[in-house]
Structure 1
Amino acid sequence: MVDARKYVTSSFITLADVAEGPLRLTIMKVADGKNNKLDATFEEGFSLSLNATNTKRLVKALGADTDGWIGQVIEAYAGEITYEGKDQPAVVVRPMTSFCGNIGNIHLSYSLGT
């Protein structure tokens, strides 16, 4: 069987896409992107360039190995990040799953509140 999703060009999520509410998305692929950022591609046909804030949130919740992110569900929503000392609007992610495991020699356990 051939997964046709890999032949579909995805569009990058913008604030306009989440202005009326969050998007629940399933991670399909994570790859090196531009400007020293990761790009996440989702089964739903979207992509998101992960800023430092979003990358830290996903590492905390899902672990440092991006192979483990595949199949995990996240929510993308309109929020704010601090960039160069100033708050600015941005697409922010919230992992919808939990992580319990090791990153290096540190044991982490992270679960989501409701």
Structure 2
Amino acid sequence: ENGEGLQILHYEVGQKYEPHYDYFLDEFNTRNGGQRIATVLMYLSDVEEGGETVFPTAIANFSSVPWWNDLSQCARKGLSVKPKRGDALLFWSMRPDASLDPSSLHG
């Protein structure tokens, strides 16, 4: 009643999801269901290379941690999460004051 149905995506080698926001900027969606406040991504498989969820405008500096070298080149900008089967990623599209969070841009 207060949520959307599941979306299941499968990516082939070389495919990607272009950076986007999960919140709505149009009046139709905000009037007919409201904003997407949060998103949960569940990783159903491991990948050998790439596959990260990248938040390019998020502020992070992990260049000194050991797994930094395991990230693809595009994943080294902003904040990145490498997929691991069984893991889930929760992120917010809105701030606690109900304003839209531009750092939730991801792809």
Tell me if both proteins adopt one fold, taking TM over 0.5 as the criterion.
no
Normalized per residue, the structure richer in helix is 1
Greater RCO, CA 8 A, separation 6+: 2
Normalized per residue, the structure richer in strand is 1
Larger Rg: 2
TM interval, short-chain normalised = 0.3 to 0.5
